Amino acid sequence: IMLSFLGIISVIAYLNYWLLIPTFLLAIVFVYFRRFYLATARDIKRLEGITRSPVFTHLSATLQGLTTIRAFKAQQAFISDFDQYQDVHSSAWFLFLCTTRWFGICLDWISCLYIAIVTYSFLGMTDTLGGDIGLAISSAMMLSGMFQWGVRQSAEVENQMTSVERVIEFSKLKPEPPLTTEKDEELKEGWPNSGSVEFVDVSLQYDVNQPPVLKKLTFTIKSGEKIGIVGRTGAGKSSLISCLFRLTEPSGRILIDGVDVRQLGLHTLRKKLSIIPQDPTLFSGTFRKNLDPFSEHQDDELWHALEEVQLKEAVQETGAGLEHILSEGGSNLSVGQKQLLCLARAILSHNPILLMDEATANVDPKTDEMIQRTIREKFVSCTVLTVAHRLHTIVDSDRVMVMSRGHLREFDSPHTLLQDPNSIFSELVSQTGASTAAHLRKLALAAHNRHGLLLQQQDSQQKQHEKDAEPRPLQLSIPNTKNFTPLQVSRTDENSQDVLCQKDDHLQKIGNSTINVVSDPLDKSSFSVEEEKSFKVDEEVVAAASNKSLSSPSVIVSNSESISDQSSSSSSTQKIVDQEESISAATILERSRTCSNDHIHNNDETQEIEYDTRF
Ligand SMILES: Nc1ncnc2c1ncn2[C@@H]1O[C@H](COP(=O)(O)OP(=O)(O)OP(=O)(O)O)[C@@H](O)[C@H]1O
Ligand SMILES: [Mg+2]
């Protein structure tokens, strides 16, 4: 282009160098007009771009909600909305076309003027060849055409740059926090394993110009607790759930199992939480892809999860099974089915925290009950946060969180909250009507009693567990004798293998345990062996004992609690070795170890085992 441009200029200059003056004037006028035109056209183009977006948005929203629009016979309203959006866009587009045409006409007129100047410049020149004049005029026409084309294209480029401008604007938006961080590597394997959640002064603001929607929330949820979240529309319930996923970055600290979630990468955090949203978004793809997006599970696991949520039959009926294709947003599934799919996904992910944002608001009572039952069974040890407007969904929770305008107003067990007639929760329950309120109160009371019993049970189980974990002292009892030699006594339990035996007339320890003879066997009919911090043997007692001759060869090893009645216990003892039979120390040790194991595993406090220790 540049070469042909220079060629044309040279030809004109060669034929009539005076023509260079209007040529340069032409260039200057074109540049001036271009600048003048662009000042307006750029803004009009921007306006056209802005008014075009609502047309597309309205069109896609209408297509998505076509059934609803038809159901409400709102076609006309949507058509007039569409016309309105289109009118606004058309007016902007029309303005743009007008400016472009005006610019084109102006360029054409200027070009015509230039060609006229070139043509008439040859009028007085008699010695010029007609061919040269023709060449000059055609070159001038080409030149003006090139100028026009160049100016129009450069103006068009600048207009189209408004689109780039918008893209740059988007690219300047604050990016999301990192998807992975160094803290992820430091996390313990299996985090979060208990699922406790702690909010410390958590506030959330969607827009810096708007007031916060969550205001300094501070609370703790213990692992495994079932929490109901209630409150009026706009109270901040969904915002609280989105806080945990860091969809919008909150201020304050959110700790899950003691780890501040703000230090974690978004991928790590979001993978560890399961959610059943009110309006689940599914991907267009297969059932399998939606159930197991990262391909981490076997087919039978997927089928099992579908069976758990009673979706197996529905999936089988499609014919293609797990390969059945879901359309955009899962629109070929009902809302309830989509939620069940999310539930199956949650079951598969085995996360200890489950969040449900009005998960059962759109399903029939039977499916709701089924979902609740599945959650109770499958997520029994998980921490479950349930946002619900239907109070019966959360009235049997461990605790209920009542939100109001971003504040946490009440947080206690439903029954306790209902005891106070002035509580917001009581008010919400009362608003459901007399009979429903009475039913809800009954459910809350039943849940309260159940939890009380459960807590008692857990408490006693815990105590029992602690008791079992304690090393139980074993007792050696000598049936009514003062003369014996504690030659070999063995003890084996789950924690250690302790063997106490006599060697060279001394008690010695074999194994890891420390055992101490605590009472004098010569004065009592029984003495006990207990675990102590250090291994101590009353050597005097042992020495004295070993000098005596053994009149009764039996030594009974048992749990100390069981030897309350020596005479009765000796009658129930199990004779292992005949009294007259002499056996080697190794045999006794081996047998006693086996018997002690039996004793511990049976954990039967009345069982006692008798050993022959005769030498
Ligand atoms: N994406 C958002 N951008 C800006 N403001 C928002 C956004 N989402 C929610 N809000 C505002 O935050 C406040 C709390 O909304 P939120 O959705 O948490 O309420 P909610 O308790 O879940 O209500 P509902 O019971 O109707 O679901 C509302 O005032 C709402 O206008
Ligand atoms: Mg909500």
The three-state (H, E, C) secondary structure of 542-592, written as one string = HHHHHHCCCCCCEEEEEEHHHCCCHHHHHHCCEECCCCCCCCCHHHHHHHH
**238 Cβ closer than 6 Å to some ligand 1 atom:** yes
Q: For residues 35-57, give the mean pLDDT.
A: 88
The ligand with the least distance to the CA atom of 236 is 1
Which residue has the least CA distance to atom 9 on ligand 1? 239
Domain boundaries 197-418, corresponding CATH code: 3.40.50.300
DSSP 363: S
Residue 288 alpha carbon to ligand 2 centre in Å: 29
Which residue has the least CA distance to atom 16 on ligand 1? 236
* Residues 463-486: tens digit of each pLDDT: 777 766 665 444 443 333 334 344
**239 Cβ closer than 6 Å to some ligand 1 atom:** yes
- Give the per-residue pLDDT at 504: 38
Residue 238 alpha carbon to ligand 2 centre in Å: 4
Q: Where are the domains of the chain?
A: 2-171, 197-418, 432-469, 474-612
Report the candidate in 146, 50, 156, 142 with the shortest Cα–Cα distance to residue 103: 156
Q: Do 450 and 397 meet the contact criterion of CB atoms below 8 Å apart?
A: no
Residue 311 alpha carbon to ligand 2 centre in Å: 26
Residue 47 alpha carbon to ligand 1 centre in Å: 31
The ligand with the least distance to the CA atom of 232 is 1
- Give the per-residue pLDDT at 202: 94
* Residues 545-571: tens digit of each pLDDT: 444 433 333 333 333 333 333 333 333
Q: Do 224 and 195 meet the contact criterion of CB atoms below 8 Å apart?
A: yes
Residue 234 alpha carbon to ligand 1 centre in Å: 5
* DSSP string computed for 202-270: EEE-SSTTS--SEEEEEEEE-TT-EEEEEESTTSSHHHHHHHHHTSSPPEEEEEETTEEGGGS-HHHHH
> What is the rounded distance in angstroms from the CA atom of residue 100 to the CA atom of residue 104?
6
- Give the per-residue pLDDT at 204: 94
- Which of 244 and 376 is assigned the larger pLDDT? 244
- Check whether 526 has a pLDDT greater than 70: no
Strand partners, 566: none
**233 Cβ closer than 6 Å to some ligand 1 atom:** yes
pLDDT band for 59, please (50, 70, 90 cuts). Answer: very high
* Residues 216-259: tens digit of each pLDDT: 999 999 988 999 999 988 899 999 999 999 998 899 999 998 89
> What is the rounded distance in angstroms from the CA atom of residue 399 to the CA atom of residue 219?
12
Q: For residues 411-424, give the mean pLDDT.
A: 91
Q: For residues 367-384, give the mean pLDDT.
A: 82
Q: Do 214 and 239 meet the contact criterion of CB atoms below 8 Å apart?
A: yes
Report the candidate in 393, 407, 397, 441 with the shortest Cα–Cα distance to residue 421: 441
Q: For residues 30-39, give the mean pLDDT.
A: 85
Q: Is 404 exposed, middle or buried (0-12, 13-18, 19+ CB in 10 A)?
A: middle
- Which of 371 and 576 is assigned the larger pLDDT? 371
Q: Do 607 and 474 meet the contact criterion of CB atoms below 8 Å apart?
A: no
- For domain 2-171, which CATH number applies: 1.10.150.120, 1.10.10.10, 1.20.1560.10, 3.30.390.10? 1.20.1560.10
Average of per-residue pLDDT values in the chain: 75
Residue 247 alpha carbon to ligand 2 centre in Å: 14
- Check whether 158 has a pLDDT greater than 90: no
The ligand with the least distance to the CA atom of 277 is 2
- Give the per-residue pLDDT at 82: 95
Which residue has the least CA distance to atom 4 on ligand 1? 206
The ligand with the least distance to the CA atom of 210 is 1
- Check whether 10 has a pLDDT greater than 60: yes
- Give the per-residue pLDDT at 239: 92
> What is the rounded distance in angstroms from the CA atom of residue 529 to the CA atom of residue 475?
5
Question: Which is the closest atom of ligand 1 to the Cα of 207?
Answer: 4
- Check whether 87 has a pLDDT greater than 90: yes
Report the candidate in 299, 343, 344 with the shortest Cα–Cα distance to residue 323: 299
**206 Cβ closer than 6 Å to some ligand 1 atom:** yes
DSSP 442: H
**242 Cβ closer than 6 Å to some ligand 1 atom:** no
Residue 408 alpha carbon to ligand 1 centre in Å: 15
- Check whether 99 has a pLDDT greater than 80: yes
- Check whether 177 has a pLDDT greater than 80: yes
Neighbours of 97 (CB within 10 A): 13
Residue 71 alpha carbon to ligand 2 centre in Å: 25
Residue 387: phi and psi, rounded to 5, are: -90, 125
Question: Which is the closest atom of ligand 1 to the Cα of 403?
Answer: 21
- Give the per-residue pLDDT at 406: 92
- Give the per-residue pLDDT at 244: 92
- Check whether 530 has a pLDDT greater than 70: no
